[in-house]
Amino acid sequence: MERIAFHLRIEEGQREAYREEHQDVPEALESAYLDSDAGLETYSVFENDGHVFGYMEVEDPEAIRAVMEESDAQADWAEVMEPIVADEGSHWMDEVYRMI
């Protein structure tokens, strides 16, 4: 099992919109992740003061990234998020410390 994470920044004034959209994530998006061959075990999203931290435990990180880049459900979600989340290029984070 591998651990991967990402960071996003919410556009100024869009924090509530971000949180509201996550109250009802489309089933098609969740299915795209869960039905992939990535072996997704855990996916959590945290938000604080306009900063979003996403964390996944997954068997195949490249497979889950492919879902994020290529699935129609992810493309639809990206359209919803486009005015809410700042586009700042790569958002993947490097793990720099792990205790256990």
The string of DSSP letters for 26-55 reads: -HHHHHHHHTSTT-EEEEEEEEETTEEEEE
**What's residue 90's pLDDT?**
75
Please give the C-alpha separations between residue 85 and each of 35, 36, 44, 95, in angstroms, as whole numbers: 26, 25, 17, 23
Confidence band (pLDDT; 50, 70, 90) for 7?
very high
pLDDT over 90 (residue 89) = no
pLDDT tens, 47-66?
A: 999 999 999 999 999 999 99
Q: Tell which residue, 99, 91, 93, 72, has the closest CA to residue 9.
A: 91
Report, as an integer, the average pLDDT of 15-26: 97
pLDDT over 80 (residue 95) = yes
pLDDT tens, 61-86?
A: 999 999 999 999 999 999 999 999 99
